[in-house]
Amino acid sequence: MTSHRLIAKNTLLLFFFLITSAFVGTTLFAQDGKKLFQDNCAQCHNPIKVVTGPALKGATDRIPDAKLLHSWVRNNAAVLATGNKYFNDLRAQYGGTAMNLFPTLTDGEIDAIFKYANSYQPPTTGPETPGASAAESDNSLLYGILTIILAVIMLTLLQINSNLKRLSDEKEGIPSVDAVPFYRNKVYITGLVLVLFVVGGYVLVQGAVGLGRSQGYQPQQPIFYSHKVHAGINQISCLYCHGNAWESRHAAIPSLNVCMNCHAAINEYSGKEKLYREDGTDVDGTAEIQKIYAYTGYDPKTQRYSTPSQPPVEWVKIHNLPDYVYFNHSQHVRAGKVQCQTCHGPIQQMNEVKQFAPLSMGWCINCHRTTKVDFPDSTNAGNKFYSVYTRFHNELKSGEMDSVTVEKIGGTECQKCHY
Amino acid sequence: MVVKKHWQSFGELTGSDSFKASSEKEFAEELPQEGIDSKGILDLKSPRRDFLKYLGFSTAAAALAASCEIPVKKAIPYLNKPENMAPGVADYYATTYTSGGDVVPILAKVRDGRPIKIEGNELSSLTKGGTSARVQASVLDLYDTARLRFPVQMTSNGPQQITSFDAFDKMIAGAMGSLGGAPVVILTSSITSPTTRQIISEFLAKNAGSRHVQYDADSFSGMMLANEACYGKKAIPAYQFDNAKVIVSLGADFLGTWLTPVEFARQYSKGRKIDEKNPEMSMHYQFESMLSTTGGSADERFVHRPTETGAVALALLAAVGGNATAPALGDKLKFGVNEAAKSLLGNKGKGLVVSGSNDVHVQTVVNSINEMIGANGSTVNWGTTVQTRQGIDSDFESLVADLNAGKVGALLVYGVNPVYTHYAADKFKAGLQKTKLTVSFNDRIDETTELCKYAIPAPHFLESWGDAEGKTGYFSLMQPTIAPLFLTRPFEDSLLRWSGNNTEYENYFKQYWTGKLGAVEAYQKALQDGVIEPSVPSAGGATYNGGKLAESVAALSSRKIGTGLELVIYQKISMGVGYQANNPWLLELPDPITKATWDNYAIVSPEYAKKTWNLDLANRRQADKYEVYPEKKVVSINAGGKKLELPVLIFPGIHNDVVAVAVGFGRQSAAQDKTQDKTRDYIGRAVVGAGVNAFPLTSYNGTTIDWFVPDITIDQTDKTYSVAQTQTHSSYEGRDEVVKEMTLEDFKKSPQEILDERAKALKPFGGLENFEKEGTLFPYYDKPGIHWGMSIDLNSCIGCGACAIACHAENNVPVVGKSEVMRFHDMHWMRIDRYFSGDPMDPDSVQTVFMPMLCQHCDNAPCENVCPVSATNHSSEGLNQMAYNRCIGTKYCANNCPYKVRRFNWADYTGADSFPDNQVFTGVGKLDDSVIMMNDDLTRMVLNPDVVVRARGVMEKCSFCVQRLQEGKLKAKKENRPLKDMEDVRTACQQACPTEAIVFGNVNDGTSRIRQMREGNPERLYYALEDLHVIPNVNYLAKIRNTEKISDSITES
């Protein structure tokens, strides 16, 4: 009985919920001026700043005739054609650039946009609570001190032990050997030499192996470009800028015209995330954006390009492959479907890029040994190129093999990378 | 007695001592190990303690050097990236190779904005993607350091730069204005470009009395004049070697240097491919004075004196039933002529006779022969004519006369260099000096440009817009593949400007072709394709008029046949007439026959050497004396009142009374200074010291230029000169023959012979079927997925060397220079071995086989087993891999390679070492200037960025173009599809080959072309040195010669 009641109650609730949410949803949609603004206007307008077009805040005051404003937004060409002086002047003021037509916007939507623009307040960048970086202290020093203390205690105890033994020997009348100070004790010396040899050898070998490697390399770049802001917070796909990685062996640093696709309109940094360098100094995001303009010769006021006054940007190359090795990004990104982060680390969290992987041959090989190839399975998904490997297909079918790794198709052979 | 059919050198033929000694050693020179055997170890020059000191020091130094800070590298992106290009991805642009009239449609591989490789354009129905050595090497000419970089005025103080084209135009306009109406002459090579022709005629129309003279250093005047007489057309018909079952060449090197060799090679190879089920092939007779590349491929070859050329043509005319009486010829020659005539008559309408002679009468007789055998309209196609040679010798002669008479006001020289190529250069020079205004458009200050008053260099064809109509109706377009490197301006632009037309040539060209093709889209499509061809190939004959035949027959009959020594002047396949003379790749390409590099020389026969110098090459001591050392005796040739000093090479196959000398060498600036500084600066660093100019030996017979001299004498001098030859090393140490050759008749009779021979040899080791598994102690390795293999058809290979240069360009193979070639340090990954068979004393019996030899990628490779650091090992795809950065240079692998295809970097040829001083040393091993030239920043732009540039001290060899394999596989993966055979993956040598002799692909793919080659030709298929159980991945298809017998050579044991 109770169960029925429960079901009925739940259904009712669900029904209520659905209705409310649908209602709320539509109202939200109708009045979400912010979303409408961002979808339609933000490319050329800012509420409070002059970009490609005028600032929209206060537009309703400047054009009190709501009807005219509506028709202007929907079809500005028609309004211009009527010879409206205000709008014709406005157009001339903005270099004759034509505004897009938005015939589908309803009066309500247009009003919502302007309402949003009028109520817009520039975001205040309040004091940032630094992340959970505070109490992550390093314990190794503590362990080191503890080890040393324990070692000293051990040595002292050993010394006491031998002294006691000597005393007891004396008591029992066994003639004692002359005490050897610990620094002349051969056992100690041998032990010390052995320890030094092992530690020294380890350090030397590690050092030699690491020669020429630069894991963790994090140079300062001519422009403070934050991957955290772009790829992390704003969720821009890596391939939007590094599209070359899809086609070519080089991922390539994007050309400046790619930057200008967005930064022609986004001319200041207004993100909540405070920018600071690795050494803790603050970064003025807006000033960094202005640098692009200097490099491209762009004048944000006139929105015109001229010959740049500066020589091209010289980015500091972070990931330098060793000599004599061939690496192809498109092989990994497109054919191998490897995520960028696999090799470049949590790039979306880095303000300044840091070399994440050692780029050593051992590191490459280890991945090739374990990574599975996009081998066609029974549903025939996967890359059809691998259809030539008939033996592997048979073994997969018969269960002799559970997966095909890169190594199996020759991915660890010399001339896959060295030629 | 050992019967051995094929031999590479006289030493091998005679089994000489030094041949035996040298074949035991991999490296020609003693390795520097001082006094190991004589003194105690402490008394050595470098005893153990020194060794330890050096070891300690170098370890410390290396540690110090390596622990320095890693250099900071910068990356500079585009400001505004062109939309359709991706850094690191190569684009291919269709364009056209042109040089001295030659036209070959090509694709230029452009990587990050610079052309780095030439490939043939497969859309061309004429070449079908074939190229030649010169075409392949032309990309290097773009980066030639000697190119003239701006317009200049030649003054007494040398060339003075003129800073702008406007200033230049003003100077020219001033000079033109003061000519006082004297005519302007435009002197060019054969112009195949319709737009250029139109611009020239527009220019001429503006300048009354002016004219255009086309001059070809290797002219076809004789043929064109004969055709004018016989067919009423002063033109050259298209030859269809593919329709010919019988080919008779009277001294025409049509596979190497005659007319359009790339196209002819493609056609010729059609008739040479053998279908084993129905073995048929064309029959090729060659009558010539010296052994040419084409002669090397001939089935039957007969030699004659150059003065007998007319007699041979007459005899052939008589033998095919023409209106002539056969003159007296030697027995062998007569036999040859009759055999050829019999074949021609037996295949009426399917025969073709061509002649390389520049004599009107000879060509008239040849026309008549072609009429008699029904060639007109079938193998001689008058439906379209060849335009690559249009110059008439007499036109140039009258120009020289006019120049000297002061009748010419201005001479504009474009693309020709008569001061170098003309037989009477002094006369031309005198005329040049008498002319008020002389302007050169040549790409460098060559011999002619140096004597002109102004020079405004035209850009390289890879930097230019343009078009070419090699055959009427067959157009090939040109588009720039790189922005001009220097301040150059197209010849056409200058003419347009000077005739008052301000249109730029680029726009003129676009308008012309858009107008002609009807729409912009059609124009763009044509640019993309590169070629515009008639939808139906035009074929047809021409009306023959035999009116002049009697005159020619009479003229030839009355010719005196020489009795003394005669000289024949020829072109080398690599050099031609020398338009690409400053090209180290071409200079280092071994001649197909002599295997000599970097020089020209006089070739004489062994019989002559025996007769004159008592040098019997059949005697092994004397063979050694001649052959082992590069120093050759220098002779002085007195021909037609001119003297020339040249080193002598003795080669079989040349007529016993003939000396042969190649043109294209001996470039020399007008300032004949001893130091050759001017030659070096003006013409190029690589040409200094390369050979002697033989053009002065040619002569004018009143109508055309003759390329032979009848009565010459040779004086021996006491000088010697070193000639760098390859292939005198790298022997197979007396192992089984790597060349297999049969006659067509034998092959028809017992097609199983080669197969049986193989089966017999392998029987004790598992037989043909199980040899791979049972013939060894080593385990059998599985070949999953892809297994690469190559098949080389010896029947199709003509030895042209296009593959060798393609390999150079693709794989960054270094140029080592003449001095290093002499030390056997040549680096070619792909070499073409030339084998002779027959009696060297009897030139008619000498037969030649070409065999491309490259790393065989053995599945059981002997080199891999001996590498102490495992720098060379095997891939699962069947590649014999070479990891250069692992190699420590022990050279064990090269010692153990039975094919001798591994190449060691003895010196820092490429400048790839970290230490710059490695290239600077004097004394033995000093690198030639040409090697240093290859290291210039400009020249290095040709390097392929996908391939490592090897440093000193590592071994290298053919990789089967692994970078192309990887690229092809990746392309297929990206497109989510299986590998496309013959499309995704092709090696550079395969792509370059004009005869499709090389087939490459995945052997595991049952439908692949390589499998078809192997399965379709089981009777000709063989592997070189198969019984060694190295299991090569390269197979050969045996050479079948359409002759009665393969000549034997019997050698002492």
| Structural domains of chain B ordered from first start | 221-250+279-386 (3.40.228.10)
Number of H helices, E strands in chain A: 18, 3
Q: Which residues of B touch A249 (CB under 8 A)?
A: 88-89, 946
**Is pTM beyond 0.90 here?**
no
Chain A residues with beta carbon closer than 8 angstroms to that of B1004: 388
- Tokens 């098949």 locate to B791
- Set of chain B residues whose Cβ sits within 8 Å of the Cβ of A214: 70
Tokens 């063989």 belong to: B1022
**Cβ contact, residue pair A252, B86, below 8 Å:** yes
Lowest mean pLDDT among A249-258, B183-192, B921-930: B921-930
pLDDT at A371: 92
Q: How confident is the model at residue A24 (pLDDT cuts 50, 70, 90)?
A: very low
Per-residue confidence at A402, pLDDT binned at 50, 70, 90?
confident
B881 contacts A384? CB cut-off 8 A = no
Which B residues, 985 through 1014, put their C-beta within 8 Å of a C-beta on chain A? 1002, 1004-1005
pLDDT digits (tens, 9 = 90+) for B937-963: 999 999 999 999 998 889 999 999 999
Per CB-CB distance under 8 Å, the chain A contacts of B974 are 330, 334-335
Whether residue B388 contacts residue B103, with contact meaning beta carbons closer than 8 Å, is answered with: yes
Are residues B120 and B800 in contact, defined by beta-carbon separation less than 8 angstroms?
no
pLDDT score at B26? 62
pLDDT of residue B730: 52
Closest Cα in chain B, distance from residue A70 (Å): 38
pLDDT in tens, B26-61: 666 665 555 455 555 556 666 677 778 888 887 777
Residue A248: list chain B partners with CB under 8 A: 86-89
Residues of B in contact with A419 (CB under 8 A): 946-948, 959, 962-963, 966
Nearest to B962 by CA among A399, A326, A75: A326
Q: B99-153, pLDDT tens digit by residue? A: 988 999 999 999 988 999 999 999 999 999 999 999 999 999 999 999 999 999 9
Closest CB to B881 among A323, A384, A414: A414
CB–CB of A415 and B879 under 8 A?
yes
**pLDDT tens per residue, range B432-445:** 999 999 999 999 99
Residue B876 with chain A: CB contacts under 8 Å: 409-410, 413
Chain A nearest C-alpha distance from B722 (Å): 36
State the pLDDT confidence band at A127, using cuts at 50, 70 and 90.
Answer: very low
Tokens, residue B1009: 């072309």
Higher pLDDT, A380 or A208: A208
Please check the confidence at residue A135 and state whether its pLDDT lies above 60: no
Is A331 in contact with B979 (Cβ distance < 8 A)?
no
Whether chain A has a CB inside 8 Å of the CB on B85: the answer is no
> Across the interface, which of A252, A385, A389 has its CB nearest the CB of B77?
A252
Chain B residues lying within 8 Å of A215, measured CB to CB: none
Contact flag A257-B66 (C-beta cutoff 8 Å): no
Which residue type occupies A22?
A: A
- Residue A242 vs residue A127, higher pLDDT: A242
**pLDDT at residue B469 above 80?**
yes
Which of A414, A416, A418 would best serve as a mutation to test chain B binding (most B beta carbons within 10 A)?
A414
Instruction: Give the nearest chain B residue to A374 (CA atoms).
Output: B973
Tokens of A288: 């960094």
CA distance A417 to chain B (A): 9
Contact B88 A316 (CB under 8 A): no
More confident call, B21 vs A409: A409
Cα dist from A159 to A165, A180, A185, A188, B392, whole Å:
10, 11, 11, 12, 112
Are the beta carbons of B73 and A248 separated by less than 8 Å?
no
Token pair for A295: 């490099």
Positions of CATH 1.10.760.10 in chain A? 31-119
Which residues in chain B (618-657) have CB-CB distances under 8 A to chain A? Answer: none
**Per the CB < 8 Å rule, is A326 touching B75?**
no
Q: Is the CB of residue B69 less than 8 Å away from at least one CB of chain A?
A: no
Cβ–Cβ of B962/A415 closer than 8 Å?
Answer: yes
Answer with the residue of higher pLDDT: B154 or A127.
Answer: B154
E strand or H helix that includes residue B491: helix B491-498
Do B418 and B448 form a contact (C-beta atoms < 8 A)? yes
Interchain contact, B785 vs A252, CB within 8 Å: no
CB atoms inside a 10 Å sphere around CB B276:
15
Cross-chain Cβ contact A257/B72 below 8 Å: no
Residue whose C-alpha is closest to residue B618's, from B22, B1051, B6, B290: B1051
Residues of chain B in contact with residue A410, where contact means CB-CB under 8 angstroms, are 785, 875-877
User: pLDDT tens across B732-752, in order?
Assistant: 655 667 888 888 988 998 889
Hey, are the CB atoms on A250 and B77 less than 8 Å from each other?
no
Token pair, residue B1021, equals 């298929």
Are residues B470 and B386 in contact, defined by beta-carbon separation less than 8 angstroms? yes
Which of B886, B959, B969 is the closest to A419 by Cβ?
A: B959
A334 vs B contacts (CB less than 8 Å):
973-974
Q: Please report the pLDDT score of residue B82 as a whole number.
A: 86
Q: What is the pLDDT of residue A125?
A: 47
Between chains, do B73 and A308 touch, taking CB under 8 Å as contact?
Answer: no
Task: Answer with the residue of higher pLDDT: A286 or A78.
Answer: A286
**Distance in angstroms (rounded) separating the CA atoms of residues B930 and B888:** 27
A263-268: long-range contacts at Cβ-Cβ below 8 A with a sequence spacing of 24 or more? A263/A289, A263/A292, A263/A293, A264/A52, A264/A298, A264/A303, A265/A42, A265/A43, A265/A44, A265/A46, A265/A51, A265/A52, A267/A49, A267/A51, A267/A293, A267/A300, A268/A49
Q: Which fold has domain A31-119?
A: Cytochrome Bc1 Complex; Chain D, domain 2 (1.10.760)
What is the four-CA torsion angle of B738, B741, B747, B750, rounded to 10 degrees? Answer: -50
CB contact set of A334 (below 8 Å; sequence gap of 6+): A246, B973, B974
Closest residue in B to A381 (Cα–Cα): B976
- Interface residue B74 vs chain A (CB under 8 A): yes
CA distance A364 to chain B (A): 16
Residue A8 has pLDDT above 70, yes or no: no
* Residue B974: closest C-alpha in chain A: A335
Residue B9 — very low, low, confident or very high, per pLDDT cuts 50/70/90?
confident
Q: Measured between beta carbons, which residues in chain A are less than 8 angstroms from residue B89?
A: 247-249
Shortest CA distance from A250: residue in chain B: B88
Are residues B572 and B600 in contact, defined by beta-carbon separation less than 8 angstroms? Answer: yes
Which residues of chain B does A335 touch, with a Cβ-Cβ cutoff of 8 Å? Answer: 970, 973-974
Instruction: Tell me what the mean pLDDT of segment B827-855 comes to.
Output: 91
All residues of chain A having their beta carbon less than 8 Å from the beta carbon of residue B80 are 255-257
Query: Is residue B980 less than 8 Å (CB to CB) from chain A?
Result: no
The nearest CA of chain B is from the CA of A325 a distance in Å of: 8
Tell me which chain B residues have a C-beta less than 8 angstroms from the C-beta of A320.
70, 73
| Closest-CA residue to B274 (of B837, B1044, B789, B1038) | B1038
pLDDT at B897: 92
d(CA A388, CA B977): 10
Q: What is the interface pTM, i.e. ipTM, of the complex?
A: 0.85
At residue B509, does pLDDT exceed 70? yes
Interacting residues of B810 by C-beta distance below 8 A, sequence separation 6+: B117, B944, B947, B961, B964, B988
pLDDT: is B694 or A158 the higher one?
B694
Interface with A, mutate which of B59, B67, B76 (most A CBs under 10 A)? B76
Q: Find the residue in B nearest to A329 (Cα).
A: B88
Smallest CA-to-CA distance from A72 within A39, A96, A102 is with A102
Contact between B77 and A211 using a beta-carbon 8 Å cutoff = no
Q: What is the pLDDT of residues B215-258, one digit of tens each?
A: 999 999 999 999 999 999 999 999 999 999 999 999 999 999 99
**CB-based contacts of B906, cutoff 8 Å, min separation 6:** B820, B823, B825, B925, B952
Q: Are B651 and B291 contacting, i.e. CB atoms less than 8 angstroms apart?
A: yes
Mutation site, A388, A394, A400, interface B, largest B CB count within 10 A: A388
Chain A residues whose CB is inside 8 A of the B954 CB are: none
- Is the Cβ of B525 closer than 8 Å to some Cβ of chain A? no
Residues of A in contact with B947 (CB under 8 A): 419
Question: How confident is residue A27, by pLDDT bands cut at 50, 70 and 90?
Answer: very low
The residues, any chain, with a CB within 8 Å of residue A83's CB and separated by 6 or more, are none
With contact defined as beta carbons under 8 Å apart, do B572 and B594 qualify?
A: no
Q: How far is CA B1051 from CA B6, B8, B840, in A?
A: 11, 13, 12
Calculate what percentage of chain B has a pLDDT beyond 70.
94
Lowest-pLDDT choice from A21-25, B221-225, B382-386: A21-25
